[in-house]
Amino acid sequence: MIRVLAILAVLACVPSAAAAQISKLEPVLRTVHKELNRYEDQLDLRDMTHEIWTGQLRNEEKVSLTVPLEPGEDYVIMGVCDEYCDDIDLRLFSGTTLVDEDVEADDYPVVQVKPNAARSYRLEVLMESCDTSPCRYGVAIYAK
């Protein structure tokens, strides 16, 4: 019994795997990951389907990411940015057709899609307002 209690005491002191991974990141990327975790909780998103894309953009710059998605899943794509960013936007395209966009003046855009066939989408990440350029961003994809 004492051995079990000792093991439980040690485990209680060990940080979670997610917290341990976040603590290894550089400070700015740590902020991006913490923001993703915060909004995951608020939006009840937990089933991440892809790696997290991170990068940096200057004020009013954009980058395009190629996102392969499978049919039949409801996908939620969320972006976040660091503490120097006030507004980041997402636009999702299938070919040249705009599928969904979130261009609200906020720092956590969300777009959604339910593909009817396996295909790659183009996701544009736009840094609309960055106080201290460049700003770091993160994009995560979830099955809902």
Q: What is the tens place of the pLDDT at every residue in 68-98?
A: 999 999 999 999 998 899 999 999 999 999 9
Residue 25's pLDDT is: 52
Q: Going from the N-terminus, what domains does the chain have, and what CATH number goes with each?
A: 2-143 (2.60.120.380)
For 114, residues 6+ apart whose C-beta sits below 8 A from its C-beta are 72, 73, 74, 75
Q: Tokens 């392969």 belong to which residue?
A: 68
Please write the tens of the pLDDT for every residue from 8-59.
333 333 344 444 444 455 776 788 888 888 888 888 887 788 888 999 999 9
Each residue's pLDDT tens digit, 125-139 = 999 999 988 999 999
Q: Provide φ and ψ at 50, rounded to 5°.
A: -135, 170
Q: Do residues 77 and 111 touch, judged by C-beta distance below 8 A?
A: yes
| pTM given for the model | 0.78
